[in-house]
Amino acid sequence: MTKYRKISDHSGRGIEITTPSRYGSHSSMVVEELEEGRVVCKDDAGEYTTLKSRLDTGLADPSRYSADR
């Protein structure tokens, strides 16, 4: 029988984050405002489109960490 072992993801090592948080969207990241309540934000990985209601909520923004950016 195998014992459980702790697996480390080494998060934070060698990765510098220049945005206010790692997964959330913030008003300081807005590059352009679009119509219908959408905005274009820019982070370390590039630009992405999200809703204004997702800004500064303290929650992760699915548009930011999505693979379909």
Instruction: Tell me the HSE value of 12 on the side-chain side, using a 13 A CA sphere.
Output: 2
What integer pLDDT is reported at residue 57 of this predicted model? 95
The tens place of each residue's pLDDT in the chain, 69 residues long, gives 566 666 666 565 666 788 999 899 999 999 999 999 999 999 988 999 999 999 999 999 999 988 887
What integer pLDDT is reported at residue 1 of this predicted model? 58
Residues 15-23: contacts with CB within 8 Å, 24+ apart?
16/44, 17/44, 18/44, 19/43, 19/44, 23/60, 23/61, 23/64, 23/65
| Tokens, residue 26 | 């913030």
Residue 54, SS3? helix
What integer pLDDT is reported at residue 17 of this predicted model? 80
What integer pLDDT is reported at residue 28 of this predicted model? 95
